[in-house]
Structure 1
Amino acid sequence: MKNLNESTKIELWIATALIVIIFIFSTIQAVSIHNFPASIPYQPNYWLNTLFRYIIVATCYFLLALFVKPELKKKDTRPSNAIFFVYILIQVCVFANLIDHYLLILLSVKMIANYFSRDMENKKNQLHSDVTVLLAISMFLQACSVLLNNPIVFRAAFSFILPIAIANYAILVFAVIPNLIHKKYRILKFIGYSLLTTILSLGILVLLFSIFDSINNGNVIELLMGINPPIQLFLVPIFAWNIYKSRNRKNIEEIATLKTELGKSDATLNFLKSQINPHFLFNALNTLYGTALQENAERTSEGIQKLGDMMRFMLQENLEDKISLSRDVEYLKNYIDLQKLRTSVSTDITIETQIEEQLNELQIAPMLLIPFVENAFKHGISLQYPSHIKITLQNSSDTLYFDVYNSIHLKSINDPEKFKSGIGLQNVKQRLALLYPEKHELIIRENAKEFFIHLTLQL
């Protein structure tokens, strides 16, 4: 109780007091109906049975308040499926006539309050929220049908058929339809599933009628067995299909918009590529390379050759979904060698690499590793202060281990890059999450003098 907020404490005290008052009122009313001397032998059993029933109600309410409500209010995480066991417990107690109908209304109101207090931004609680509100309405109708003395067929329908319909709806919306929506013959498969659930629901009804002997009128049972098939075969599937379509209409529109924008981007990219003739660029680089060799400019010719290899990679292999790890590592080495040419004039800059030769046939998404190296050279190299970079790449079986250490230097106040993050780091995090979900580990550490990343990737 110490960890509960004040509003929850007040609610629990009020609910407890209400249950106790109804308990006292019902026992006084029951005793007053009977002749007192005649009721004396009956009193001990009556008190124990009544007390047990109200303890059950109090337990159900406390579970709804202290367990179900916090689970539905979770942010960005899926609520526990134990919520459904709480609902099953309540429904079994209703079937067994252990919950007073006034208190059943109290429990249904609490469930509706839990529904409206849930985290509406969390889409992972949609299943639990739907079952909560539908079951609350079902329980409310059950209680009202008894209190209004409705015909027994209505009371039995609310007690037996409606909970089965709710379970059928939940399975359809959250399991069956999402799996069928993009498959062939989905309508036929959907109809087949509806027929199967209708047959199963009839079997469940027969079982419930045999266990809970609250309905002993054969005509009522036959009527319910006739009402159930149209509900499970037509009403519930149609309702579930419309709910699923309406909820996903916005997502479908967003996907269509994204595809349109992606098509425009691809068209723009292809146009830009057509404006830059790769053959002209490669021919120009070959000319410069030959000129550098004639002038004995070895470092210049080496740099031009590596730049040409990098451009060829960018224009050709970078467009693939997966490329060989050896090719990606080759691009990485070319980039590092070019940077070494730039920094070789300074003796205070140390660049150390330990990159294993990739002799296996592993595949990797292109350009995943290079942003970390680009970031290291961008922020870790200074021509005025001692600097160091260490790059390590190893692989064991199908797992890649990639480490990058680099020194950090304070930026000048006028440096436009002072408050900017690393090159492509956010982008590569997103790509890793999309391309290698639960198959990578990225650790980034930073102190006053050094920046470090460690990437473990299952290829």
Structure 2
Amino acid sequence: MLQIEKKIILKTLVHVLILGIILFPVFFVISNKSEVIRPNFHLSIPNSSIVIFYLINIIWLIPKLIFERKYLKYALFILLFLALFLFFQYTFFDFIPIEGDRPPPRFQMRRNQMFFLFPSIFRFVLIMALGTAIELIAKFEQEHKRYDELERQKIIKELSFLKNQFNPHFLFNALNNIYSLASKKSENTTPSIMLLSNMLRYVLYESGKEKVPIHQEIDFIKNYINLEKLKFSDSNAPQIKCYFSLLNENYAVEPLLFITLIENAFKHGISYVTPSFILISFTENNDEIALSVINSVGKRDDENINTNKTGVGLENLKKRLELLYPGKHSFRQIYENSTFKSFLKIKK
């Protein structure tokens, strides 16, 4: 609000400066009592008239005609003002005393009088154009701010929708994991419930924020990985290797942005029949945030990948990246030799 008031004050000062330049000859004539200067008093009438036209233009014509796209009416008013200005300029120039009190012949030297109009027209057009340009620039800036605010609100709503889509999906998978442990009467059931409780607390209370410290996001990812590990016994456990490196643990990131790739790796990269693996690397430095997830792919999932079937989670991730980091991120996925590789980089 304070920034808007500063812009209004700045715009007003520019208008006052232009009006001061126009009226300077008037103030000079009025304040000077010399008889030599008094014959130039004719300057005050045209200058005063152009000031009135200038004020009418910025106060009434531009808001009522240009902003409402009534350009023809605006042009007609400007032509009318120009005609009146030239009339005042010509009339009072014509009555300047040259020798004593004798006025010059009114229609003498018609060509010179016509030539006199061109500087006056140029002066009028320049002054009016300055006032119009200032108002249009101010209006453009105002509309640009309004458009940015609308876009920001749109992004907030869209991101909220995308995150709300994720939460039920994540909860469904996590409850399935705990159900699987409970059905086997595993001793890991209680720890898994605690892990899920911590994760739900993060989802409920932190995901609604615009940004969170990156270490909280990493803790959430680690809890998810530990929850997934509880499903396996020593005999069928996949090879899971994780590497996390944070230079600034308090660097702010959007919540629940990276979990989709981790979740997909466990969904498609785990096999209870053949050896499987998941390799996760997450690094944050002064230049970028980089996440790479490499996982094996079972035969059952080969067909889905080969037919380019992507889940809701990946589509949501791509949309969020486009909204949050347009032109500042790269996201690649490669499938080769029954191995799926995902690489995400976000420039700071």
Under a length normalisation based on structure 2, what TM-score does the superposition of the two structures give?
0.52
Number of equivalenced pairs: 240
Other-structure match for 2:93: none
| Structure 2 residue aligned with 1:232 | 129
In the alignment, structure 1 residue 451 sits paired with structure 2 residue 336: no
Deviations 1:290-335 (A, max 9, x none): xx9xxx9542222122111111111112222222222211110111
What CA distance in whole angstroms lies between the structure 1 residues aligned with 2:223 and 2:195?
6
1:426 aligns with 2:315: yes
Percent identity between matched residues is 26
Q: CA deviation at 1:428?
A: 2.5
**TM-fit CA distance, 1:196:** 6.8
Partner of 1:390: 279
> How far does residue 393 in structure 1 lie from its aligned partner after superposition?
1.9
Partner of 2:74: none
One-letter identity of the residue aligned with 2:124 = I
Q: What secondary structure does 2:267 align onto?
A: helix
The verdict on how the C-alpha distance between 1:197 and 1:424 changes in structure 2, with shifts beyond 3 A counting, is: farther
Distance, in Å, in 2 between the alignment partners of 1:358 and 1:258 is 33
Match of 2:202 in 1: 313
Query: Relative to structure 1, is the Cα distance of residues 377 and 301 closer, same or farther in structure 2, using a 3 angstrom cutoff?
Result: same
Counterparts of 1:205-354 in structure 2, within 5 Å, are 219-235=116-132, 262=157, 298-344=187-233, 347=236, 349-354=238-243
Secondary structure in structure 2 of the residue aligned to 1:342:
coil
Q: Do the aligned residues in 2 keep the contact of 1:444 with 1:452 (CA within 8 Å)?
A: yes
Q: Deviations over 1:364-391 (max 9, x none)?
A: 2211211110111122223344322111
Partner of 2:63: none
Counterpart residue number, 2:10: 189
Work out which of the residue numbers 293, 297, 301 in structure 2 matches 1:408. 297
8 Å contact from structure 2 (residues 292, 342) kept in 1: yes
| 8 Å Cα contact 1:441-1:457 kept in structure 2 | yes
> What is the 5 A alignment of 1:17-28?
none
SS across alignment from 1:403: strand
Separation in 2, partners of 1:253, 1:425: 28
Shift of 1:337: 1.2
Q: Which residue of the partner structure matches residue 10 of structure 1? A: none
By how many angstroms is 1:254 displaced? 7.0
The answer as to whether partners of 2:247 and 2:286 remain within 8 angstroms in 1 is no
Check whether the contact 1:352–1:390 (CA below 8 A) recurs between aligned residues: yes
Q: 1:251 to 1:373 in 2, by over 3 A?
A: same
Which residue identity is paired with 1:453?
A: S
Q: Is the 8 A contact 1:194 1:232 kept in 2?
A: no
Inter-partner Cα distance in structure 2 for 1:414 and 1:254 = 42
Equivalents in 1 of 2:332, 2:148: separation in Å? Answer: 35
- Quote how far apart the aligned CAs of 1:232 are: 0.9
Output aligned runs, 1:373-384, within 5 Å: 373-384=262-273
2:248, 2:132 → 1: CA distance?
A: 61
Within a 5 Å distance, the mapping from 1:33-44 to structure 2 comes to none
- Name the CA distance, whole Å, in 2 between partners of 1:421 and 1:437: 22
Q: Which amino acid aligns with 1:219?
A: F
TM-score for both structures, normalised by structure 1 = 0.41
Write the distance in 2 (CA, Å) between the matches of 1:356 and 1:221: 73
Q: Aligned pair in 2 of structure 1 residues 423, 342: CA closer, same or farther (>3 Å)? A: farther
Q: Greater relative contact order (Cα 8 A, min sep 6): structure 1 or 2? A: 2
Question: Which amino acid is 1:189 matched to?
Answer: L
Partner of 1:165: none
What is the CA–CA distance in structure 2 between the aligned matches of 1:457 and 1:257, rounded to whole Å?
23
